[in-house]
Amino acid sequence: MLKHVLMWKVKAECNGKKKPELIDELAAKLESLIEISEVVSLKVGKNVSDRKNAFDIVFFSEFKSNDDLQSYRDNPYHLEVADYINSVTEMGFVVDYYSD
């Protein structure tokens, strides 16, 4: 399986909404990506740490192949969610790796 892991720091405020509301909206949008057929599984986690360097939200997803991941990336709904992510986050990281 190909694991696709991302994490983001959410802006303090965006479009008149504060960080907690933005995190909740982002989590819901990320969870809805399960509807894309190439996604084998996904999990979303909201940070509970009070560490200053902690990220706010993490996204774990699995794909059968790199081709499936690329199809997912090109999916119009994923692109819509990605645009939203880019609008409400200030920093993000990604790791893709294979695992049994």
Pairing mode of beta strands 57-63, 41-46: antiparallel
| pTM (two decimals) | 0.94
Return the CATH number at 33: 3.30.70.100
Between CA 11 and CA 27 the distance in angstroms is 14
Q: Which amino acid is at 25?
A: E
User: Above pLDDT 70, what percent of the chain?
Assistant: 100
Report the C-alpha gap between 35 and 3 in whole angstroms: 17
Q: What's the domain count of the chain? A: 1
Distance CA 93, CA 19 (A): 19
Residue 56: name the closest of 87, 97, 16, 26 by CA: 26
- Expressed as residue numbers, the domain containing 44 is 2-98
Q: Could you report the per-residue pLDDT of 73-99, keeping only the tens digit for each?
A: 999 999 999 999 999 999 999 999 999
